[in-house]
């Protein structure tokens, strides 16, 4: 399954800032919470994390060393 940014539903207020900022339409608000839909178009630009005023959205990086 394609990994997507993670939303902390306890912190998300459903303000929609991330929806407006995401250039690929990956985020929708359902029942006042941001839901991220599976889409290959999400290139992990991290804009949604940067704009979220609640720190509710996380774009986590797995850091690996190439052998």
Is the CB of 16 or the CB of 43 nearer to another protein? 43
Report the distance separating Cα 41 and Cα 35, nearest Å: 15
Site membership for ligand SF4, residue 58 (CB under 6 A): no
What residues line the site for another protein (CB under 8 A)?
3, 6, 8, 10-11, 43-44, 46, 49-50, 55, 58-66
Which of ligand SF4, another protein, none has residue 24 at its interface (CB below 5 to 8 Å by kind)?
ligand SF4
Which is nearest to 43 in space by CA: 57, 21, 23? 23
Which is nearest to 21 in space by CA: 3, 36, 8? 36
């Amino acid at each position: 399954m394609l990994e997507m940014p993670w939303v902390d539903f306890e912190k998300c207020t459903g303000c929609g800032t991330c929806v407006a900022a995401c250039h690929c339409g990956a985020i929708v608000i359902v029942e006042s919470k941001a839901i991220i839909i599976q889409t290959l178009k999400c290139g992990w630009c991290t804009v949604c994390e940067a704009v979220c005023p609640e720190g509710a959205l996380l774009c986590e990086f797995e850091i690996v060393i190439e052998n």
